Amino acid sequence: MARVNCPNCLAKATVTSREKQSDHVVHLYCSCNNTKACGATFRICQSFDHFLNPPVTNTTEMAAALLKQLPRQAQLDLLNSC
């Protein structure tokens, strides 16, 4: 898991609990480990943004869908060029 830092003093913080908002969003409740000088508690919103490289199953499905849109001869030509 990613490291969480206090937004006030930038010290390490500990995730004390999490609250799922949706499949792609979660709220992390955190506590600053710098208890003598800061001691802040705060909430971070963590969310999924996008894939940098899609999962293999998605890539295979996308390739198959694109191939199906080509005429039969174009499909064969493409497969034979590999």
What is the three-state SS of 29-67?
EEEECCCCCCCCEEEEEEECCCCCCCCHHHHHHHHHHHH
Q: What percent of the chain has pLDDT over 90?
A: 57
Parse the chain into domains and list their residue ranges: 1-49, 50-82
- Cα separations in angstroms, 55 against 12, 59, 66, 70, 74: 32, 6, 17, 24, 26
- DSSP-based helix, strand, coil % in the chain, nearest 5: 30, 35, 40
Which pLDDT belongs to residue 47?
A: 96
Mean pLDDT of 20-38: 97
Work out the pLDDT band at 29, boundaries 50, 70, 90.
Answer: very high
Q: Is residue 27 over pLDDT 90?
A: yes
Please provide the size of the chain in residues. 82
